[in-house]
Amino acid sequence: MKPMVSRKRKHFHHIVRPRAHTHPTFVSDTYRLQPSPCTGRMLGGRYEILGLLDRGGSSEVYLAKDALGELPVIVKMLTEVAAADTQHRERFIVGARLTMALDHPAIVRVLSVETPFGAPPYMIMEALQGESLAQYLDRENTMSQSMTLALARQIASGLVAAHGAGIIHRDIKPANLFLLGPQGSPSGIKIIDFGLSKDLFSIVSGPASVNLVLGTAQYMAPEQVLADPIDGRTDIYAFGIVLFGMLTGVLPFDLNLGPDLFCHQLFSPAPPPSWLLEDIDCRLEQLILRCVRKHPDNRFDSMQSLLDELIAIESHPLARSNEVSVPLLRRHPDLYVPQNSEGRGVAQNLARFSRSGAATMHIPQLSDGLDDLLDVAEVEPMRERSGTRLSRR
Ligand SMILES: Nc1ncnc2c1ncn2[C@@H]1O[C@H](COP(=O)(O)OP(=O)(O)OP(=O)(O)O)[C@@H](O)[C@H]1O
Ligand SMILES: [Mg+2]
């Protein structure tokens, strides 16, 4: 592993140091705060903002002192612009409430959600110490197999709990996974940011149930690209892409593909990680490739069976290829079939306007029989193209 040299792009102006009169665990130089006009502001008569930790696309994350507690807390507040969009505001509140219902060591604890009148909503969370997996990978590029496996098991068990409660995260990616402990040698990981999560058991179709394309393009399963119904297997797809990136330092399909990225998520098989990483345990490779199959039926059927497989791999030494049996594809070939005419239209347009020659492809119709699907499989595969266009995260 490379030396732990921080190459953070952000310039941090202010480091909070422990204060003599506070609890020793209160604040330390773990938190690198940026000045903000909100510093010193009191929220709800209880939380004093100490400084800005991070600024996302639609929210700001602050470190705060809780007047009623000894530990620092995180305040995540929707920006005014995002809060003015009713759907966005609702999604934020729903995501926070869903997370509050989850109690698992691999899921960040949300303590409360506040919806002040005429002001952006905010949630109060436990303050984690460490860095996001995205920050880790920006610096280190890759992670060892053993560390990846140990952390993957924790993420998977967190997702088993979320899925068991009917909650799909929908935005699993390194920026939403938080490594706990010292930089470079994390002791654990927590899933954060359930901002796009969806409650499968909810009878009322909330804002996250509307047919919107939500998620992060490089991690989006085909059903998410087409705004088709999703389930736990959608998180399994994103989880597979995350593992691919952790081990190889690149993603199967990345932003430099431009709009073609969606096309690849729909039609291109992911390249085997062993193209980039020689000594990968072939069971781990199979596991990743199974996660990122196009048809959800060809992925693991649940996060629990994926977790079982991770535990089995972790508890036995490195496997050779001849010791591994490849699970049978339930749908052959591995094609995603759009669930409705809208999705079919989107897929057709993506293929038509693709710069990568996908215009020659047929889009499987709902009514197509197996023969038609097999025809599609004979269309020029995009594997070579995706392989040559592998790029850094
Ligand atoms: N509980 C926490 N403890 C410590 N740091 C946190 C915590 N929650 C978030 N952060 C930091 O803030 C960053 C952004 O958090 P988060 O992913 O929740 O919001 P976001 O993606 O910016 O929000 P949005 O997607 O709404 O724009 C994280 O990557 C992490 O560095
Ligand atoms: Mg996030």
**pLDDT tens per residue across span 197-254:** 665 555 433 334 344 566 789 999 999 999 898 999 999 999 999 999 999 999 999 8
d(Cα 365, Cα 309) in Å, to the nearest integer?
A: 34
Same fold, 17-126 and 132-391: no
If residue 48 lies in a helix (H) or strand (E), which one and from where to where? Answer: strand 47-55
Dig out the tokens for 235 from the structure.
Answer: 């998180």
Question: What does the DSSP 8-state code read for residue 170?
Answer: S
According to the model, what pLDDT value does residue 29 have?
A: 65
d(Cα 274, Cα 9) in Å, to the nearest integer?
A: 31
The finding on whether 127 has its CB within 6 A of some atom of ligand 1 is yes
Ligand 2 centre to CA of 133 (Å) is 11
Give residue limits of the domains in the chain.
Answer: 17-126, 132-391
According to the model, what pLDDT value does residue 318 have?
A: 65
Amino acid at 73: V
According to the model, what pLDDT value does residue 348 have?
A: 85
Segment 316-331 mean pLDDT: 73
Pocket-testing residue among 54, 81, 135, 169, ligand 1, by greatest number of atoms within 8 A of Cβ: 54
Ligand 1 centre to CA of 184 (Å) is 19
For residue 51, what pLDDT band results from cuts at 50, 70 and 90? very high
Segment 175-203 mean pLDDT: 83
Given this structure, which CATH class describes domain 132-391?
Answer: mainly alpha
Tens-place pLDDT, residues 280-308: 999 999 999 999 999 999 999 999 999 99
Ligand nearest to the CA of 53: 1
The finding on whether 197 has its CB within 6 A of some atom of ligand 1 is no
Tokens 């791999």 sit on residue: 313
Query: From the alpha carbon of 193, which atom of ligand 1 is closest?
Result: 18
Tens-place pLDDT, residues 20-34: 333 334 454 678 898
Dig out the tokens for 294 from the structure.
Answer: 């196009």
As a three-state string, the secondary structure of 199-248 is ECCCCCCCHHHCCCCCCCHHHCCHHHHCCCCCCHHHHHHHHHHHHHHHHH
The finding on whether 57 has its CB within 6 A of some atom of ligand 1 is yes
The residues, ordered by sequence, that sit 6+ positions from 84 with a Cβ below 8 Å of its Cβ are none
Question: What does the DSSP 8-state code read for residue 58?
Answer: S
Does 82 or 56 have the greater pLDDT score? Answer: 82
Tokens 């219902």 sit on residue: 101
According to the model, what pLDDT value does residue 361 have?
A: 41
Answer whether 206's CB lies under 8 Å from 94's CB. Answer: yes
According to the model, what pLDDT value does residue 391 have?
A: 41
According to the model, what pLDDT value does residue 199 have?
A: 59
d(Cα 8, Cα 135) in Å, to the nearest integer?
A: 8
Share above pLDDT 70 across residues of the chain, in percent, rounded to a whole number: 76
Query: From the alpha carbon of 175, which atom of ligand 1 is closest?
Result: 29
Name the residue among 276, 29, 5, 277 with its Cα closest to residue 139: 5
Q: Is the pLDDT of residue 10 over 50?
A: no
Tens-place pLDDT, residues 68-96: 988 999 999 999 999 999 988 988 998 89
According to the model, what pLDDT value does residue 320 have?
A: 67
According to the model, what pLDDT value does residue 351 have?
A: 81
Range 17-126: architecture per CATH: 2-Layer Sandwich (3.30)
Tens-place pLDDT, residues 259-279: 788 889 999 999 999 999 989
Per the document, the length of the chain is 393
According to the model, what pLDDT value does residue 67 have?
A: 95
Whole-model pTM: value is: 0.83
According to the model, what pLDDT value does residue 13 have?
A: 38
Does 328 or 137 have the greater pLDDT score? Answer: 137
How much is the mean pLDDT over the chain? 81
Dig out the tokens for 24 from the structure.
Answer: 């020793």
Question: What does the DSSP 8-state code read for residue 219?
Answer: G
